Amino acid sequence: MTSNDPSFPSPSSLPDRPQAAEGYAGDVSPELAWQWVQSGRAVLVDVRTDAERDWVGFVPGAVAVPWKHWPGMVANAQFDAAIQSAVPPDGLAVLLCRSGVRSVAAARRATELGLTAYNILEGFEGDADENAHRNRKGGWRFRGLPWRQG
């Protein structure tokens, strides 16, 4: 896949500013989220399960606050306290999950708690392609942003 391939998502295909959303501050591209984190403007909160971070990879420096626990994907009863502890009351949170779905629910809950929370579009792994493989159609890793495995 090359940048001339129409299925290759270019950075310009994502918004360069926050996009309006219902129930939370908005949606941001992985690149914009990373800029905010690097500048100290936002806290990166990874809402994936511990298993996902252990097996798939993680962003160094991100605060791990699972939205749900594996196995069984049971709601994290400690989510509220953990995110309130991770993000200063006047700070911004940028929330990351696998593909940008759980992080929307988590951003809505964080907003209900009084935080300014944004969802990171595409998540860590992006959407699945026609063969059900991730990391080929967007996502934090696909876009070359910092991450580690193991």
pLDDT tens for 15-41 read 688 888 999 999 999 999 999 999 999
- The model carries a pTM of 0.86
- Other CB atoms within 10 A of residue 110 CB: 27
d(CA 73, CA 59): 21
d(CA 106, CA 93): 11
| Residue 120, amino acid | I
Question: What pLDDT does 83 receive?
Answer: 98
